[in-house]
Every structure is written in structure tokens, then in C-alpha cells.
Amino acid sequence: MKNPGFSVILIILFILISGCSQVEDDISPGQKYSQKTIQLQESIIDYSVTVEEQLQNGGPAIVRNIVIKRPYMYRITDSADCYDLSNGTVLSSYCNGSDTLNYFADPSVRQFIADVDYQKIFTQMISEGDGTFEGTETLENTSTWIIEIKPIRNRYHIRYDFITVRMWIDNKTGMILRAEMLPENTTNVGIVQFHNVTVNRGISDDMFTYTPVSGMNVVDRKAGLFKENLEGNAGYTHNATPCTNCPMPSRTPRL
């Protein structure tokens, strides 16, 4: 005689397995890899990268080293050995060899990381866009999956002209290693690449604070000037009008 309790258990297991399979079948590859990227990004506490930006049709590249400690600390170093750094309370800007330190102290400095944390900007696009999975590729000896997004154009202040963003994403860390901003006619693609990537290394808070040396001229700046400077360093502006051939600045803007 069959055990009725055992039969009930089998039926329940069959329903659960069938339900899981159905849910999995309902998720497109684009949704699947978008969700994986978002989940991996949520586990990132700190990271450091070298960011290189250039238009496909040439022009000078902008290269910066950026260190992020979420939720609000960051440090930008440009090729001229100049720095913008924030510990979430004080935002400082200086250049080695200069006798002037520009700083701004206000709780609003915590909001400025939204203009610096490129990884969060692109992840936000993924979370809000309808992504499609475009395959896999090895990029700089790293296995990546490729997601293409059609983001809400006016929501993001990246200054390139684009209707589509294609991203190459490290399948172990969720870090975006390359992003291409594709305009409608694809005549001049904006390319952002991330090199020398490190993740969750336990970066010290000391990296995001600068103590002026004796005799240094310390200038208290206004929030608007810092905002403008950060947008310039990042290569975009909230007020920029999208264009088909946005020229990259030949040098990093300074205060």
C-alpha cells in the first residue's frame, strides 16, 4: 500500500520545481544579467579604477584615477597631479606644487558623489532600462557579459549624445569595464573604459582627507564652483545639450 503522505510530498515538490522553472523561463537573458550586475554592485563597498574617456573619432583622451568608498567618499587624481577628494564632510581640491588648497565644508558634499561614482551611474541605467543580453567577451583577460540598455536620456547627465549604452561587465565582480554611448547614427561613439580595477580592499578613510601643509593658502569655496568643477572633471555637465560630436576638453578643468 502506498504511503499517502509520501505522495503528497512528491506532488508539492513537483509544484515547487515547476513553479521555479516557470519563473526562470519568464526572465529574459537581458533581465537575468541585469539583475546579476545589480546584485554584485550592491556588495561593493569600495573600489579603485583608472578611467579613460575618448570619442571614437579621436581627440585627446581624459585619464583619471578614481577611488570610491561608498556611500559618499571619493578621490580623483588627474594627469596633472591634481586632486579632488571628499570624506563626506569636507571636499578639497589641490595640485601638487601649488600653494593653494580650495575646500568646501557642508553636508551637501555627500551628494556630489553622484557625479563621480561612474559605476553607480551605469548600474542605475541598468536598473531602470530594458536591457538586452548581447553575448560574452574576454576583455583585458577578464570574462565579461555584454548588456545593451536604452536608458531614459534626460535622467543622466553624461554629456555624450546617445540613445543606447552598451556595457561590458566583469562576471565575477559586477564592475563595468567598458561602456559605449551610442548615438542614433553611431557616427561618434563615446567610450569610457575602466582599467586597474580593485574591489573591496578595505580602503582607509584617511585617503579621502587632506591636511594643508604649513603656509598653504586655504580658500573657502562655494558649492556651485565645486559642482561645476566635478562635472568638468567627469567630462559632462547637467546643463549640457547633447550633441553629435561633443569635443572632449584638452585638459582637466580646474577651479
Structure confidence by residue, pLDDT tens digits, 123-177? 999 998 889 999 999 998 999 999 999 987 656 656 677 889 999 999 999 999 9
Enter the C-alpha cell of residue 246: 561633443
For the entire predicted model, the pTM comes to 0.80
Domain contains 159: yes
Domain contains 25: no
Q: What percent of the chain has pLDDT over 90?
A: 42
Under 8 Å between Cβ of 104 and 226: yes
* Per-residue pLDDT band at 235 (split at 50, 70, 90): low
- Per-residue pLDDT, 242: 47
Domain contains 21: no
Strand duo 132-139 + 46-55: pairing: unpaired
In CATH, what number is assigned to the domain containing residue 164? 2.50.20.10
Question: Is the model's pLDDT at 249 over the cut of 80?
Answer: no
> Model confidence over 21-78: pLDDT tens digits?
444 568 899 999 999 999 999 999 999 999 998 888 776 788 899 999 999 999 999 8
Instruction: Select the highest-mean-pLDDT range: 92-96, 121-125, 241-245.
Output: 121-125
The secondary structure of the chain, three-state, reads CCCHHHHHHHHHHHHHHHHHHHHHHHCCHHHHHHHHHHHHHHCCCEEEEEEEEEECCEEEEEEEEEEEECCCEEEEEECCCEEEEECCCEEEEEECCCCEEEEEECHHHHHHHHHCCHHHHHHHHHHHCCCEEEEEEEECCEEEEEEEECCCHHHCCCCECCCEEEEEEECCCCCEEEEEEECCCCCCCEEEEEEEEEECCCCCHHHHCCCCCCCCEEEECCHHHHHHHHHHHHCCCCCCCCECCCCCCCCCCCC
pLDDT: which is higher, 212 or 39: 39
Question: Is the model's pLDDT at 230 over the cut of 80?
Answer: no
Domain contains 6: no
Domain contains 125: yes
Domain contains 3: no
Domain contains 13: no
Give the count of domains, the chain.
1
What range defines the domain where residue 133 resides? 34-38+45-234
Phi, psi of 167 (to 5 degrees): -125, 140
Domain contains 175: yes
* Per-residue pLDDT band at 226 (split at 50, 70, 90): low
